[in-house]
Amino acid sequence: MTPFDYNSIPAVLVLSEEPFGLDNGFGVTLHNLFAGWPDEKLYVFYAHQHSKSDHNSGRRTPQIHCPVNAHHGRRYALPMLLGIKPQWREHYSRLWLNLHLKRFKPDVIYILLHSESTLLFGEWIAKSLKIPFVVHVADAPTFRNSKTPHILRSAAVRYAISEPMAREYRSRYDAPFNILRNPASIDYYRDVANPRPMRSPRDRRLTIRYLGRLHSWLHYESLRLLGQAVNECDQAGVAWTVELYGSADEADLRKAEVLNSQVVYCGTVSRETGIKILQEADLLVLPLTYQPETIAAYKYSFPTKLAEYLATGVPILVLADEAAASVSFCQEHSVAHCITSPDVHLIKQFLSSFWSEPHRIIEEAKRNPSVCKSHFGYESTTLMFQNSLCAAASSHSVLGLNNQYKPTSHSLPL
């Protein structure tokens, strides 16, 4: 990498739905995109409070919970006025902002969002501090506020998470949107000198694995269908086991009848263990919904884990409606088997075919890592993103609005 001047790196205020972490798509995306960026040059506000495991990224940068989509009752106005809460009815607390940023002076704001409230709050901070902001739309939000089109067009840079989302937003908001997907870390790629062994299913059960957070509205339907297909396969002497890893409510999984004798929940795992689990699976599953109303809101999104799945070179089964952006990508590049209707028979048919002809399906998946490197390249994606933040801060500095940042064309070491 090109040497760089530490003093030229802009200080970035990150406003995200989730903090840095390795247990959710937002956290993983932040972890990858800011690889090599000094902790002291970052400060994080995150909108949603989840489990403590969300903070397991190893970053030492401050991460502050800022509930900007909170209650609108009148009694919540006082905490905003006193600087205890950041907002109330789209009124924002300058006192809250000053208290949390008293030791940090950002040069640019990066907003990773799926809710309009996060976008509105980020734009208010940018105007208050007179600094530029960069927008990265992840899970497609529903934009209703009349100010949103102007806010999006005012951003220094706009990113969408998928090609369909970028096309839609370019047309809808008459503004350029670039595509920025989460890259796959090099750790997920298998050593080419140590290829994945070819194993026969005849003397053992084959294993299907999923690693990630589990949501009832997004994953349960497909997982129930998969569980039913696996049970029917088992009765026919085709032995599969489904292992689910990641954050989930096990009691809820049981109540929803996702778990059964062949579908087991294995809890959360470390990053290192998670990578090994994926690499050693026989088949990786990406379960999404088939419900029209959910797909309508989710179709432009792009699961973070898909890039990681591709990097492993393990065969992939995608269970989702054909309108999903992930299905479109997989079909266009022939990198997974997609079942686009909620049909147990089709799932059973594929699992039986895999059992009968594992060599063919495993051989087809060997091209997945090369496709991943082309479209989710870790180094190229990260450098492009980081340079865009530098350029945004640089252009602002050139205008004389922020004198503490010195423009540079150098890149950070990853």
User: CA-CA distance, 111 to 141, in Å (whole number)?
Assistant: 13
What value does the mean pLDDT take over residues 163-189?
94
pLDDT value, residue 403: 38
pLDDT value, residue 398: 47
Q: Which residue has the higher pLDDT, 271 or 227?
A: 227
* CB neighbourhood size of 103 (10 A): 7
pLDDT (tens digit per residue) in 195-229: 555 555 555 789 999 999 899 999 999 999 999 99
pLDDT value, residue 199: 57
Give the torsion sign (CA, 274, 277, 281, 287): negative
pLDDT value, residue 87: 92
Tell the residue number behind the tokens 């369909």, with chain if given.
Answer: 164
Q: What does the angle CA 197 – CA 316 – CA 233 come to, to the nearest 5 degrees?
A: 85
pLDDT (tens digit per residue) in 376-405: 999 999 999 999 999 999 886 544 444 333
pLDDT value, residue 344: 98
Q: What percent of the chain has pLDDT over 70?
A: 89
Identify the bridge partners of residue 338 per DSSP, sorted by sequence position. 318
pLDDT (tens digit per residue) in 27-39: 999 999 999 999 9
**Polymer length in residues for the chain:** 414
Alpha-carbon separation of residue 413 from 6, 29, 34, 35, 204 (angstroms): 11, 18, 11, 8, 45
Q: What percent of the chain has pLDDT over 90?
A: 74
What value does the mean pLDDT take over residues 245-270?
95
Whether the pLDDT of residue 172 is over 70: the answer is: yes
| Average pLDDT across the chain, whole number | 89
pLDDT value, residue 3: 41
Q: Which amino acid is at 13?
A: L
What value does the mean pLDDT take over residues 56-80?
85
Phi then psi for residue 275, to 5 deg, are -60, -45
What value does the mean pLDDT take over residues 38-65?
80
User: CA-CA distance, 393 to 153, in Å (whole number)?
Assistant: 17
pLDDT value, residue 200: 57
Tell the residue number behind the tokens 């409230």, with chain if given.
Answer: 117
pLDDT (tens digit per residue) in 324-370: 999 999 999 999 999 999 999 999 999 999 998 899 999 999 999 99
pLDDT value, residue 57: 66
Listed in sequence order, the residues at least 6 apart from 167 whose beta carbon sits closer than 8 Å to its beta carbon are none
Answer yes or no: pTM beyond 0.85. Answer: yes
> In which band, very low, low, confident or very high, does the pLDDT at 23 lie, cut at 50, 70 and 90?
confident
pLDDT (tens digit per residue) in 81-131: 999 999 998 899 999 999 999 999 999 999 999 999 999 999 999 999 999
What value does the mean pLDDT take over residues 290-304?
88
pLDDT value, residue 196: 57
Mode of pairing for the β-strands spanning 240-245 and 206-211: parallel
pLDDT value, residue 245: 96
